[in-house]
Amino acid sequence: MQEGKLVGWKVGLAVLVLAGLGGGLLAGCGGSSASSGGRATLTWYVFPEHSGAFTQAAADCTRASGGRYTIAIQTLPSDADSQRQQLVRRLAAKDSSIDIIGMDVTWTAEFAEAGWILPWTGTAAQQVTTGTLAVPIQTATYKGRLYGAPANSNTQLLWYRKDLVPKPPQTWAEMISMATALARQGKPHYIEIQGKQYEGLTVWFNTLVNSAGGTILSGPTTVSLGAPAQVAAGVMKQLASSPGADPSLSNQQEDQNRLGFENGTAAFELNYPFVYPSAQMNAPKIFAQMGYTLYPAIIAGKPARVTIGGLNLAVSAYSAHSADAFAAAACLRNAAHQKVAAIKGGLPPTLSALYDDPGLAKPYPFHQLIKEQLATASVRPQTPLYSDVSLGIQKSLSPPGAINPRAVLGNLESELKLALSSGGLI
Amino acid sequence: MSDAAAVPAPPTARAADPRPRRVTERVRSERRLAWMLCGPAVFVMLAVTVYPIVYAIWLSLHRSDLRFPAASKFIGLANYGHVLSSSLWWADVGHTLIIAVFSVSIELVLGMGLALVMHRAIFGRGVVRAVALIPYGIVTVVAAFAWRYAWAADSGFVPKLLGLNYDPLTREFSSYVVIILTEVWKTTPFMALLLLAGLALVPDELHEAAKVDGATAWQRFVRITLPLIRPAILVALLFRTLDAVRVFDTVFIETAGQNKTETVSILGYNQLLNRLNLGLGSAVSVLVFAMVALLAFLFIKVLGTSLAQQRGEK
């Protein structure tokens, strides 16, 4: 009898443990956006914004909705690749917990083609495009429809040391010869740029190809490249084999570039505006000599067409509250919140009028340069197969020092064809 | 445990029992209980291992891309054709084998040394073993970051220490050196632990007898220790080789596959998680699985014959 009891006990315990496990698993998978008492909770998946500008915008818009919805922020990983991986896995599984998506400018075609996001139409579309710069709108548009509300933009400037470079270079050729001259004098001379095999390498190449008057693709599935791509790859190779190249060039991302400049080994740096407040805080001596100017051109007299970055807000196709989500997204990127994001978080606005706002001038003394560059900015290939295309470009051009000018164009073409046919390994 | 041992009644008592039906009922209920107790584990194992493997094989026979759900269709072995006809696959198999062969051989030699030290340590045995195991306890990604920061020219002390005028992680040969060193540092303790278990089985009397016969330490190691722990060596080699062929995190953190260091696991990752091409990526994964299975089969063949040989010699 006693044994029987014991056995019963054990079975009971095992069942309990299992039930606990199963319950935990189920609870972990659930968590769809709930509405409590008529008030919808909208979940905004977005990159970690450390200044608090996004949190403030979410709180403001919740208040402004008058009790219609609450916006909750769900933080994504910090790099764009991991953000995308997490989002696409959720979206492919039709996760209804996502309402608003903080979408990198390169994801629009992919998300739209897969049917994961809803197009902006009617007055909502009008509201988020009025007064917005043209190129940011272009990044949010796929097959003639608007899929995102441009929330902020981004572009790289040329940062240089005023004590080493009295007159900043206007072309790549000038910059490389200045760096070579500085090297000969034994002065800091590196040109800091993103040379690692990752998205940054595609950004660099896209800027150079467009600055040389070409494009990477001429349609969602047609390779363009040609002579401008040849020139672009040549410039990358030229920098990599000149004394201006940082020895770690082929392993560097934005942050290593920032550190290189702050350490005082570099004379030039091509990077996003976040490096400005960072230098001010970490390296006041370097900061005192930190100049900024337009990104160098390839062809003298023809401004560079710098690759645009930034964030568009999209509404998930699986959201249970899409109407509210459109309203909330429009609020999150309105003029007031873009201004906060620019001043607090250093994110360049997409609204044209904000560049004339006197409040921006002090923390953002280079705002007119950014506006000028955004007007001529270039967009990365707009194809649902963008990540395949980017991977192919990175693999053909890494490391920049090993580019073979004779073979590079053929390599790029065959990689891009593989990418666009979505067959074959890359 | 002790309850379970107490349950079966003595066989003599059972034979004398005039009511055998009661016993079979009891045996049956015990069996049922056993099944109920294993059931959840079997179910979990099926769910987390068999199902994903079968699903990966199924996916690898399809054109399946997360971004184009409408275009999914059965395409037979076309994905395998794409993979096996790609020079990238064979190049990456080569890179993987370089890392596996060099790291496992260095680990075997160092691991043997470490195991002998741990085995012979007279005092502080526990401390020696615990200290030796620390690298194995560190998360691979963390260890890889530590090695990367130490070796990169812009953040590390190693290039300055060695007087290098280039960044070791930007060149092919030196990238392999760093990757293999990281792997060796990380997993030598594991190898040593498996070999230590083998050393514990070598009877001391044999060594003493050999010593009396005038054998040197080296002769005793080669003629007595090595043959006796051969099964342990083969098991250690098997485990480590299978692990090394699937190497991902160390390479991903240190070079991300650039400088021609891409391994088959990174190749699969790129197809699956970057390109979202589930069909092609699954084909890569299944081929890696097949490669690992083949290696395991070969090792077990060798292991089996060696055990048979040993029994035959005895």
Instruction: With beta carbons less than 8 A apart as the criterion, state whether B79 and B280 touch.
Output: yes
pLDDT above 50 (res B314):
no
pLDDT at position A170 is: 96
pLDDT at position B69 is: 83
B274: nearest CB among A11, A197, A391: A391
**Least confident window among A34-38, A331-335, B232-236:** A34-38
SS3 B261: coil
pLDDT above 60 (res A230):
yes
pLDDT at position B125 is: 80
Which residue of A79, A95, A251, A255 to mutate against B (max B Cβ within 10 Å)?
Answer: A251
Which residue matches tokens 């230590």?
B196
pLDDT above 90 (res A389):
yes
Chain B residue numbers with beta carbons less than 8 Å from the beta carbon of A117 are none
- Let me know if A339 is exposed, middle or buried by CB neighbors in 10 A (0-12, 13-18, 19+): middle
pLDDT at position A22 is: 47
Name the H helices within chain B. Answer: 2-6, 11-16, 20-45, 51-60, 78-84, 87-120, 125-137, 140-151, 158-162, 172-199, 204-212, 217-220, 226-228, 230-245, 249-254, 264-269, 278-313
pLDDT above 90 (res B22):
no
Which stretches of A217-341 are assigned E, i.e. beta strand? 217-219, 222-223, 266-271, 290-293, 309-316
The arithmetic mean of pLDDT across residues B14-27, rounded, is 63
First to last CA, chain A: 67
pLDDT at position B166 is: 87
Other Cβ atoms less than 10 A from the Cβ of B3: the count is 11
Q: Tell if the CB–CB gap between B3 and A398 is shorter than 8 Å.
A: no
The arithmetic mean of pLDDT across residues B177-191, rounded, is 95
Other Cβ atoms less than 10 A from the Cβ of B77: the count is 11
ipTM over 0.95: no
pLDDT above 50 (res A183):
yes
The Cα of B291 is separated from the nearest Cα of chain A by a number of Å equal to 18
**Residue B267's pLDDT band (cuts 50, 70, 90):** very high
A400-426: per-residue pLDDT in tens?
999 998 999 999 999 999 999 877 888
The arithmetic mean of pLDDT across residues B264-271, rounded, is 95
The arithmetic mean of pLDDT across residues A358-386, rounded, is 92
Is pTM beyond 0.80 here?
A: yes
Residue of B158 and B11 predicted with greater confidence: B158
Closest CA to B192 of B127, B299, B303, B108: B108
Closest CA to B194 of B120, B264, B119, B260: B119
Chain B residue numbers with beta carbons less than 8 Å from the beta carbon of A196 are 256, 258
Instruction: With beta carbons less than 8 A apart as the criterion, state whether A329 and A313 touch.
Output: yes
First to last CA, chain B: 36
Distance CA A175, CA A194 (A): 16
Which residue matches tokens 């584990």?
B41
* DSSP annotation of A165: -
Determine the residue type at A17: V
B30-75: per-residue pLDDT in tens?
999 999 999 999 999 889 999 999 999 999 999 999 888 888 899 9
Q: To the nearest whole percent, how much of chain B has pLDDT over 90? A: 55
